[in-house]
Amino acid sequence: MTAIQPPLSMLLELTHRCPLQCPYCSNPLELARADHELPTETWCDVITQGAEMGMLQVHFSGGEPAARTDLEDLLAHTKAKGLYTNLITSGVGLKPARLARLVALGLDHVQLSLQDAYMKEADRIAGLKGAFATKQAFAAEIIEAGLALTINLVVHRHNITRVGAMIELADAMGAQRVEVAHTQYYGWGLANRAALMPTREEVETALGVVETVRAHYRGRMRIDHVIPDYYADRPKACMGGWAQRFLVIDPSGDVLPCHAAKSLPGLTFDNVREKRLSDIWTGGAAFEAYRGTQWMPMPCRDCDRREIDWGGCRCQAFALTGDAAAVDPACGLSPRHATVRDLATSEAAAPPPPFRYRRMTR
């Protein structure tokens, strides 16, 4: 067995506080409260450790990372360590003066979410009136500052027919990259699956639109496209493979192989307050559990794609089969594949139930 390579990047969920309430949020249903968040010095120490391990990029995420008043300190520290920095933001609540400070500190890139091409619909999905207009103004500030901008479009049954208009809007906002992300059904997305699931026909039309406009934006705006699992034939290489290149640290300091890993039963997660990040990466039980190909069931273990898709997604396998080590049902070779398609088809055919908005329980 070859030595374990360090991850390329880490995503820091600085907080679960967020002004938006998107019903497909990747955060867990049980959101961490502010008094459980790591203090500034612990985050800085974690970033130092990441740089020493050989990581290249740090993603500041949440919740809304700007809800942390020490975001500037964390960014300055990360730049001092020579790492590439990415701010994944709602764009709501980040005032121009503060953005200017982040730019001056060397912020490299911003990823901004956009909920819909239409204001009223976008605000309804975000659960916040005025969010759409605020995001438009924020994007203009990003471009004015000369920063690189990615617009993240989460696609579901309420906006999928407008995917072309959303891409057009992203271009008008000045994005050089757009991420068309069909909803992933974990956490809040899973809780809202029936409210979000599009039909197969809608998905196929949207895939066609994206492929058609891709050539139009060549050399101007790159389009990354995350294919919807429930209508796929082969699973995605989730996280580029479990514990291969990426880790997530949640607001409390637990280190996770992916955003949704806490949904898996039986895994224990180490915390940066107690262990070194490099020890957690190379020897932590949660990382060891599904790293590589040893854990794989048949037919994954013999599959010639086993080191391409790395067995797909463990959280999805668990959500759909109750067994985290099962074949990902997104794969056509899973015995559950047809069942999952039928499930998606029937949910999409029924009228959408109301959203269960992402909120902290009081």
Partner 1 sequence: MSAPALTGASRPRLARGVKRDIDKARGTPILQAPERVLVLDEVADAILQRCDGAASVAEIALDLAAIYHAPRETIEADMLELLEDLLEKGYVQA
Residue 176 touching partner 1 (CB under 8 A):
yes
Q: How does strand 222-226 pair with strand 9-13?
A: unpaired
CB of 53 to partner 1, least distance (A): 8
Judged by CB under 8 A, the stretch of 95-103, 214-222, 251-259, 344-352 that binds partner 1 is 214-222
Q: Out of 177, 200, 276, 305, name the contact with partner 1 by CB under 8 A.
A: 177
Q: Out of 54, 96, 332, 353, name the contact with partner 1 by CB under 8 A.
A: 54
The answer to whether 19 touches 128, Cβ cutoff 8 Å, is: yes
Judged by CB under 8 A, the stretch of 26-34, 48-56, 130-138, 260-268 that binds partner 1 is 48-56
Residue 80 touching partner 1 (CB under 8 A):
no
CB of 39 to partner 1, least distance (A): 27
Q: Out of 222, 305, 306, 341, name the contact with partner 1 by CB under 8 A.
A: 222
Binding mask 274-313 for partner 1 (x = CB under 8 A): ----------------------------------------
Residue 351 touching partner 1 (CB under 8 A):
no
DSSP string for 195-253: HHPPPHHHHHHHHHHHHHHHHHTTTT-EEEEE--GGG-SS---GGGSTTTSEEEE-TT-
Judged by CB under 8 A, the stretch of 187-195, 216-224, 227-235, 315-323 that binds partner 1 is 216-224
Of the pair 218, 356, the CB lying nearest partner 1 is at: 218
Residue 57 touching partner 1 (CB under 8 A):
yes
Token pair for 317: 């396998």
Of the pair 218, 301, the CB lying nearest partner 1 is at: 218
Q: Reading across the β-sheet that carries 109-114, which strands appear in turn?
A: 222-226, 177-182, 148-155, 109-114, 84-89, 57-61, 9-13, 246-249, 255-256
Measured CA to CA, the distance from residue 113 to residue 115 in angstroms comes to 7
CB of 225 to partner 1, least distance (A): 13
Judged by CB under 8 A, the stretch of 4-12, 41-49, 159-167, 272-280 that binds partner 1 is 4-12
Evaluate the CA torsion angle 266, 185, 32, 237 in order and state its sign.
positive
Of the pair 84, 357, the CB lying nearest partner 1 is at: 84
The answer to whether 150 touches 126, Cβ cutoff 8 Å, is: no
Per-residue buried b or exposed e for 144-157, using 16+ beta carbons within 10 Å of the residue's own CB: ebebbbbbbbbbbb
Of the pair 148, 227, the CB lying nearest partner 1 is at: 148
The answer to whether 195 touches 150, Cβ cutoff 8 Å, is: no
Q: Which residues contact 167 (CB under 8 A, 6 or more apart)?
A: 153, 178, 180, 210, 213, 217, 223
CB of 88 to partner 1, least distance (A): 9
Measured CA to CA, the distance from residue 223 to residue 337 in angstroms comes to 28
The answer to whether 23 touches 355, Cβ cutoff 8 Å, is: yes
Judged by CB under 8 A, the stretch of 25-33, 39-47, 148-156, 231-239 that binds partner 1 is 148-156
Peptide bond into 299 cis (omega under 30): yes
Q: Out of 40, 70, 81, 84, name the contact with partner 1 by CB under 8 A.
A: 84
CB of 223 to partner 1, least distance (A): 9
Residue 108 touching partner 1 (CB under 8 A):
yes
Burial label for 97, CB within 10 Å (0-12, 13-18, 19+), is exposed
Measured CA to CA, the distance from residue 212 to residue 208 in angstroms comes to 6
Q: Out of 4, 29, 80, 148, name the contact with partner 1 by CB under 8 A.
A: 148
Residue 113 touching partner 1 (CB under 8 A):
no
Residue 56 touching partner 1 (CB under 8 A):
yes
Binding site for partner 1 (CB under 8 A): 6, 8-9, 53-54, 56-57, 59, 84, 86, 108-109, 111, 146-150, 176-177, 215-222
